[in-house]
Structure 1
Amino acid sequence: MKNALRHLCRPLLAPLEAGNEPYHYKPLSRKVLLFFGAVFTFLGLLAAWLIPADADPGYYFPVVVFTLAGLYGLIVGALGEDRAVAKIWGNK
């Protein structure tokens, strides 16, 4: 199942997993990435739920940004290799 999801998310994961340069990976980095991904996704969905139906469309910009950032973090944290997680945190 994980391989099928990795293949589906390949356009997001491939740039982060590319390269031969050395990197420094800490297992805690993956846990923190998953935590913040979940928090950002939750905040985006909570904001979407709290916006009134007749609100200005501009209110949805933070919803989209927070939700997409959170989902990206969850995808990289759950499916990405150690190199991808290290690149997210800038560890080289």
Structure 2
Amino acid sequence: MKALLTKLAFPILNALEKSEGSYEYSPSHRTILKVMGFLFMVISAVGLYFSMKIEQWAGLFPVILFAGIGILCWIVAFLGSDKAVSKLWRNRNE
């Protein structure tokens, strides 16, 4: 399953993993990305709920934005290499 998801997320992961040079990686960065992804998805779900409840469809823009950021965090945290996590955090030694 992970191989299939990695194939689907290849455009995102490839862009993050192409950096050259050394990088600094800490396992806590991956953990924080997982938590941030969860928090962004919670914000997105709450925004969707209230947007639908008051029938204000312009509220879908932040829902899509927060969900996109949450999905990006989860893709990099669960499928990305150490270099991809480091590049997302900008912890590179060049």
The TM-score, its normalising length taken from structure 1, stands at: 0.92
Over the matched positions of the two proteins, sequence identity in percent amounts to: 33
Alignment check: 8 A CA contact 2:25 2:82 kept: yes
Task: Report what 2:30 is aligned to.
Answer: 30
Shift of 1:61: 1.2
Distance in structure 2 (CA, Å) of the matches to 1:49 and 1:12: 29
Structure number with the higher strand fraction is: 2
How far apart in 2 are the matches of 1:9 and 1:45? 23
Question: Which portions of structure 1, spanning 4 or more consecutive aligned residues, are displaced by more than 2 angstroms?
Answer: none
For residues 32-68 of structure 1, the C-alpha deviation after alignment (integer angstroms, 9 at most, x for no partner) is 001001110111011101113531x321111111111
Structure 2 partner of 1:54:
55
C-alpha RMSD over aligned residues: 1.1
Structure 2: how far apart are the matches of 1:53 and 1:81?
42
TM-score, normalised to structure 2, is 0.90
Gaps of 5+ in 2: none
Q: What are the ranges of 5 or more consecutive residues in structure 1 without an aligned counterpart? A: none
Q: Distance in 2 between matches of 1:54 and 1:3?
A: 40
Q: Is the 2:33–2:77 Cα contact (8 Å) retained in structure 1? A: yes
